[in-house]
Structure 1
Amino acid sequence: MAAVIGAVAVAVATFLVASGDSDPAGPRELTSDQANRLAVARFRNYQAGGRAVTINVPGTAGGLVITGSIDYRGHVGYGVLHGTGRDASGDGLIEWTATTVFVHPMANAPAKAPAQPPGSGWYSRPLQKYGSSLDSSLAIALKLGSDRPDNAQLLPQNGAAWVGQERLDGQRVDIMTGPSAGATSGTAGAVRYWIGSDGTMYRVRVGVASASQPVVIDFDTQKYVPVRPVPGVTPTR
C-alpha cells in the first residue's frame, strides 16, 4: 500500500475548496502509469531526504497547524505549532520521532521555526498511538517516506483508485485514493494523495477515528530547512 500510515485525523475547511481547474470524475481504476506514480511517491520523499510540510489538524476546540520540515531519512520532524480558532497557550516549537514528541512552549511563537532549535526549554512525552489527532497526524506525516517503492501491482488489488485531477500550486496533479489501516473507515477512499506527473507527493488527506474531519498534509509550502535534533533526540540514519 502506497503510504502505510498510522491513526490520525483532521482537516481544514479551506482545504476542501477545490480549485476552479479541478476535474473530479472518478473513482476509476488506476492506469499502470498512475499506479507506478503512486507506488514511488513515498520513495521520492525518501530520495529527496526531506520535505517542507504544513500539517493541518482540525479539532472541536479549534485546529492546530504545524509548519516545518520532515527528514525522511532520519525519521524526525521539526516545526512551529500554532492554534487556529483557539487561544495560543499551546503554541511553540515541536519536534517528533515515531515514539516521542518534544515541545518548547512559546508565548509568541514565530511564523517559522528557527533553523537551530533552542538548546533548552524542551519537554518530552511519548507519542500517543490512539486518541490524539495531533499525535496521529505527526505519525502519519513521518510514514509518508519509504526507502523503497511500493508494489504498483498490488495497489489496485488493495482498492487504490483514481478520483480526478486538480491544479495545485501551479502543478497538474492526479488525485488518487489508497487503503490505510489508520483511516476512519479502513477502506480505500479514506486516504487521498495528490500526485504529480513524476510521482511527487503534493498533498495527503487522511480520515481517522479520533476526528470527524480529515488531517491534511501539504508539501513544499515553504523552503525546506534541514532538521536538527533537539536535546534528547537521536535521529535514526
Structure 2
Amino acid sequence: MAAVIGVAAVAAAAFLAVGGGSGPNGPRALTSDEVNRLAMTRFRNYQAHGRAVTITVPGTAGRLIVTGSVDYQRKIGYGVVHGTGRDTSSDGLIEWTARSVFVHPMANAPAHAPASPPRSGWYGRPLQSSGSSLDSSLSIALGLGSDRPDNAQLLPQNGAAWLGRDQVDGHRVDVMTGPSSRDRSGTAGSVRYWVGSDGTMYRVRVSVGSESQPVVIDFDTQKYIPVKPVPGVTPTQ
C-alpha cells in the first residue's frame, strides 16, 4: 500500500511476515471490494483522527510493548513502554513524531499513559531511520494513516493479495498483503493487514531489519486518549 511505511529505510527492510490468518484458499488476487477496502484502510484511520494502539516490538533481549494512541491527522504518538522478557530499563512514557522521540523513564511505569504528559523529566532525540526496531516500529505506526485513499488501481499491479479470513477481538476480517512504500520499491506482500468489512484496520504485521519476529500493531486495544504534546515541545512532522 502506498506510503504505508513513512521511512524509506524501513520499507527497504520489510520482508514478508509469515504465519497467522491465512486460509486454505489464499493467496489469491483481490476482488474489487477487497481492493477498495485495502485502498481505504489508512484513510479510515485519518478520518477517525486517531486510534488506540498496542505496538509489539521484537528484540533479541526481549520484546517492548508500547500501549497508547496515535493521532493520524497531527502525526504524533504517545504511550507507555513496558519490557517483557527483559529488564525494565526501557520502561516509561514515550512520545514521537516522524522526526523525534521523547522518553520519560519510569521505574514503575503505569499500565496506561496519563492523559497529560508530565511537565518535566523528558529526554529528546532524533528518531532513527535504521538500526532500531523500536524506532522502525514507531515509524510504521505513524505511517498507517493518510489524508486520502490509496490508488485502488495500482494495488493489484504491485502485489496486493488476499490471504484468508480471521477474527480480531470479535471482528471478522480479511487478511491482505500489499506493497510496502510510496514508490513500491519494497517486496510485494511485505506487510499484512487485518481489514474489516468497512475498511477499518484492526491489525498490521511487518518484519523489520534482522529481527526474527515481526512488529505487530493492534488497534482499539484500549480507549483512545487524544495525544497532547510534551510540555514545551511543538510537534514537528
Q: TM-score, normalised by structure 1?
A: 0.90
Which position in structure 2 is the counterpart of 1:28?
28
Shift in alpha-carbon separation, 1:119–1:210, aligned structure 2, 3 A = farther
Superposition deviation, residue 180 in structure 1:
1.1
- Match in the other structure for 2:157: 157
Deviation digits for residues 92-141 of structure 1 (CA, Å, limit 9, x no counterpart): 00000000000000000000000011000000000000010000000010
Deviation at residue 3 of structure 1 after TM alignment: 4.7
Give 1:41's aligned residue.
Answer: 41
- Asked if 1:51 is matched to 2:51, the reply is yes
**Is contact 1:179-1:186 (8 Å) kept?**
yes
Within-5 A mapping of 1:164-175 = 164-175=164-175
1:138 paired residue number: 138
Show the counterpart of 2:179.
179
Tell me if 1:148 matches 2:148. Answer: yes
Partner Cα distance (1:154, 1:102) in 2: 37
For residues 3-58 of structure 1, give each alpha carbon's deviation from its aligned partner in whole angstroms, at most 9, with x where no partner exists: 52031789xxxx9666xxx7342110010100000001000000000000000001
What corresponds to 1:75 in structure 2?
75
CA contact (8 A) 1:131 1:210 kept: no
Question: How big is the shift at 1:232?
Answer: 4.2
Letter paired with 1:37? R
Secondary structure of the corresponding residue to residue 131 of structure 2: coil
Stretch deviating more after TM superposition (198-207 or 209-218): 209-218
Question: Which whole-Å CA distance do the structure 1 matches of 2:188 and 2:86 have between them?
Answer: 33
Aligned equivalents of 2:168 and 2:151: distance in 1? Answer: 26
- What is the aligned-residue RMSD (CA, Å)? 2.1
- Where do 5+ consecutive residues of structure 1 fail to align? none
Task: Give the equivalent residue in structure 1 for 2:108.
Answer: 108
Q: CA deviation at 1:166?
A: 0.4
Q: Summarize the alignment of residues 187-206 of structure 1 with structure 2, pairs less than 5 Å apart.
A: 187-206=187-206
CA distance in structure 1 between the partners assigned to 2:113 and 2:65 by the alignment: 13
Q: What CA deviation, in whole Å up to 9, does each residue of 1:162-215 have, x standing for no partner?
A: 000001111110000011149xx9312221000000000000001122422210
Unaligned runs of 5+ in 2: none
Counterpart-to-counterpart distance in 1, 2:74 and 2:233: 11
Q: Which range moves more in the overlay, 99-108 or 1-10?
A: 1-10
Aligned length: 228
How high is the TM-score relative to the length of structure 2? 0.90
| Aligned residues with identical type, % of pairs | 76
